[in-house]
Structures are given as structure tokens and as C-alpha cells.
Structure 1
């Protein structure tokens, strides 16, 4: 890196899509003062936000996406006033979104999704008058959506899904006349849908609207994008009613008060709203328990781990992961991180899941996962080897458990996706991967793939197919021919995407969840 300081006219520097690890050296700031494009995305770089960027005043595009950077975004980033694009998605950045970003008057694209940002969305982002794309989905943001961002005259895409945003949708949405995509699913938004969203004149460019899985209620606008079912997602809001016929919503209940809220809703609606946001994994495990008629056991307590899983100490795990080294880190989520480790004398590699107990809900997640996984016995689900409920060297509470690796000793989150896909195929074709028919290199996924989609009726379980045919006959009478078959093909396609032979070709579980939500909305609501 230091030798590049002699390249005084260097304008573009890209190391994107390699296998770079470790911290970005401070000598990055010695690159040419004329550098305009810096691309370091899709590597395994770690550490805090690279400080050397502060010495690159001419930077136009900054790409640090898909790495393992941690810590907070420095306020001085707002002094890089020439920046036009910032891509920081899919890292482990935390803290608040710097309000100083509002000083970047030339910024057109801001990607901050899939990090751990919390508190609120800075209202002064609305001061960036040329911003076109604002993507902050999959974080931990709270409070209401600032109305100021809808007053940006150039904004075309706003993505705020998978946060904890609450309050009502601002009526100022109608001011975003250039808006093409508005994605705000899986939050805690309440109240009615603003009529301005259905205004054909003010929202004429809107192509995709996703308000699904919130707590919205009341009557849905009759006009605009709401008449386009394929472009509108509003499922998971139990209080919504009427709207265009294309949305198939129930009629609104007549009330004597204009302030009709959840207090008048049936009790079952109040129960179903939180259930709709249940984790996908918990749903799959529950389904397996139902299919195989496993007897439910009592919830596991911390004191019972010794009887259910062999215990290991914090010191054992710290040593096996080389002090929780970044080089051993496989992946990280909101509640935990997964490391590869050599925990036992046989030196076989295992995966150790360490829970971040500082995060609210992590302790409950640890207990729930241990309880669920000890109740499930299936060849395509990883086996728990042991659990650790102890304290670390600083006296802090510490919880973790280890599991077997994927076949061949390889640790990969793609193995979990593959297992999910196999389980999904088993449920529909009612055959096990060890069935006698699967031999000479033919696997359960290959069997389905060679018959997909034209001959899928020949591989789906005959009893299930008979039930689906009866359902389809009913829908044909209602003018919805082939919807059942389309739903079946869509689910099997997800299973095939999960069981690709190459792990790099498989979709991730976040994509699986999104696709299943889409199927549910398109065919089952």
C-alpha cells in the first residue's frame, strides 16, 4: 500500500471481490489526493472505519460493503463533501447514523443496510437535496420515519425494512413525486395508510410498495399503485380492510367512532400480529415436530444444560477459537457470532455459536434454540455437541454452544440453507434422502430438479397432490385457475435454490424468508 503513494495521478483504486483480511492500514491515506473511486468491498476486512479515508479529499465513491468492519461511523465522514456514493452495507457497524452526513450536498446514493445501527434515522438527511437512493434496511432503528426524507425532490428509492420503526406513516410521502420504490416491511408502524400513497398524480412513478408485516389498520386507498396487486405488498397487517378488489381484503367493520383502532378488533387479531413476525427457523422446527409427532418437552432451564449437553468452559472455547479470532469468524447476526474451532482432542473442526448477551433478547434466543434443537432429531439438522453457560475472564456472563460441521468438515452457513432445502423437499415428495431410489449419484434435489417444472406432479406425494387438486377445483370455480400449482412450484423452486451443489450458488436464509413471505402474500392471503 505504501508504494502506491508515488502514483500521484491515481484516480481509481479497486481491490473489490478478493480475500483480503485484517485491518486497513493507515497508509491508505497516502494515496493520491486525486483519488476519486475507492472500492474495497466483498472481502474479509475488519477493524474500525478506515481512518486514512479522511486524507482523501477528492473521493467521489466509497465502497466498503460486505466486510467485517465494526465500530461507529466517524462524524468526520461528513466533511468529505465531494462524496457522491457511500456503500457500507453488510458489515457490523454500530452506533448512530452520523448527522454530519447531511453536509454531503452531492451525495446521490447511501447504502447502510444490514448493519447494527440503532436509535433513529437522522431527520436532517432530508437536507441532501440530490439524494436518490436511501437504503437502511435490516438494522435496529427505532422511533418514527422522519417526514423530511420524503421532501427530497430527487429521491427514487427508500428502503427501511426489517427495523423497529414505529409511529404512523407521514402524509408527506405524497411529496416524493419521483419515488419508484418504497420498502418499509417488517417494522412496528401503526395507523392508517395515507391517501397520498394512492394519488395517481403525485405518485405516478411508484413501481413497488411494500408495507407488509406492520400494524397498519383502516381502509386501504382505492387508487394508484394499490390497484396493481403484483406491485403492492400489504400482508401481515391484520387491521387493513376494503381497498381495491384486486387485494382481496375484508370489508371494514362499521363503527360509530372515527377513531376505530385495535381495541375493536377480534382478540385473535391481537394474537396473530406478533405470531406473524415469528422467526422462520422456529416455524420450520414446529412443522417438523408436528409431522413426526414428537412429544413436546418442558422448556429447558439453564440448570438443566448439564443433563442435556456436555459442558465446556469459557477457557476451552476461547482457546479453541484462538481468542475469538476474526480469522475464525464464519458469520455474525444480531444475537450471536459463529466461529470455527478445534474443541476436542480428535481435532475435528466444529462450529461454536457465541451469544452477544449485551443485545436485548439474546439470552432468550440462547434458551429457545437449545430447547428446540434438543427436541429435534433429523439427519439434515446440525447436532448440538455441548453447551456453555459460564462467565468470561472479566466476570461477564457468557453463553455458547457448539455443533457438528457440514459434511467433509467444512463449516459454512450454506450448509444450514442446504439442510432447510432438503427438509422442504422431504415434506412435499414424502421421501427421505436415504431412500433406495437415490443411488448412483442421484440425490433428492437432483430428482426434483430433473422433473421441475413440467413433471413436478410425478414427484409430489400422491396424497398431497390429491388434496391440492381438490383445492384447485374449488379455486377454478372461483376464477383462480392454476394458483395452487403456481404456489407449489414457487415453494419447490425455493428448495432447489437452497440445495444447489455449489454453496456459492445457494440463496441465504434472509432471501428464503423474503421469498416465503412473498408466496404467502401472493397465494395465501
Structure 2
């Protein structure tokens, strides 16, 4: 018989056991009583400094966001638990294939059960993430910087389509137009600050590629890419070889790594805009599809 944790949310039951534990809280697998829909429930650890501010930032960021590559929020809860303590939670759609991190870095228990992502699948995921960022940076009323983009915050649905989640560190970017209404709307940013509208600053702000990645471009990329990609290509189509197809694959991998290096340039103005990233990733995908 399955056990449940009772939460101060009448429409929800949550199974024992967490999907993910983070700094500001834990994510549980839940079931809505109304239609038995499986959901993910992020319960904030309000004892952690900054958790309440993270909750407010995430609620504000998710209030009007609508994009197929963003995790859909179903509802939020701010209440009192059964012990009289403050309780805050967010309820999201459940992603059957969990996070990208669990695929790239499976635990020892998951190692034998997890399939490897091939090059095309990884590229599709990267494009999905780029689409989400393009929407946040260029197509939402107030540009938003995610500020915590990492494999653990990229979730995969049944078709391995990627959805970006966890907006607890999200930051609204004010424009330089001097529009006071625009600036007021963006004052909820986590850490209590409002960011200047510099999208390049926030695409790969926390990512610094190792020096060997730069040194490997363009002719030694096979020495640094995930060995699973090379093994998969050898097993399925023998693309990694001394022939035209192998050369094309190597060139595409070099182009992908070059994007990462360009996006993490030391100076913000030197980094690629997400629109250009998306355009280049699509071009690479088209080349691979023709091999």
C-alpha cells in the first residue's frame, strides 16, 4: 500500500520520497485528488535563508510565462502546515524523464537502466533550451534572466523535449529606456535587485569552460566530448571514422563546442546573443540530418 504525506493543500496528495533536493526546498512526486494527475510539488524549506524570497521571485516570474519549453506551473500554495508553521509550495506538471542531469550523470543505481542520449537528441535538447531563453530574453514583456541554468533545471518530457524550470533565482532585466512603469514591474528580482538589460551577461554567466576546451578546437574535439557520443555513433552508423561522414560529425561537434566557448567569453559584449545561438544550433542540426 502506498503511503502519502498530507500537505495543507486539499486537492493534493504527495507520495513519500523526493525527486530532488535543493538549497531552498525539495521536490516531491504528487497526485491531484481531482483527476489523479501526476504532478511535481516543490516544497520550500523556509528555514533556509532566502527561501521565501526565492518563492516570491519564482511566483512572479511564472505568473504570465507561457512557452512550450518552460515547465508549466499548475498552482501555488502559501498556507500554514499542520504544526502551525508557514508553508509554501509550487505545483508543476510532472516530467516523466526527469532532469537532463539524471541522463548525463546517472547515479550508480540508475547507470544500467538509463539510455544514453545520442548526438541528435542532445542537440534537440540544446535547441529547446535556447528557444526557452530566447522567449525569456526577447519575447516576454519584461526580459527575464534565469540565472540558474544547469542540467538539473532542464526537465525532459515523454518525447525527450526539454522544459526549463526552477525560476527561484530569476531576475527581471530593466530596459535602458527610462520607462518608470517598466522598471517598477521588474523590482521583484531575487537578491532584492533589478538587473540591467544585458542578456549576454546572463546566458552563461556561471559557466567557465576549461582551458582544454578552447585548446581542443577545432581538430581535437573527439578527445574531450562525452565518450558515450562517440560509442553511439560508432555502433549505429560508423560516423566517427576516417571518411566524409565522420569528418562532418567532427565538424558539427566542433561548431557546438565553439558556441559554448563564445557564450562564455569573459566580456559580456563579446558573448553570443541567444538568437544567434539558436540560429547556429539549428544550422548544425540540419547538417547532421543530412549525413
Which is bigger in relative contact order (C-alpha 8 A, separation at least 6)? 2
Shared topology, TM-score over 0.5?
Answer: no
Smaller-chain TM-score bracket: 0.3 to 0.5
Larger gyration radius, structure 1 or structure 2:
1
TM-score, normalization by structure 1 = 0.22
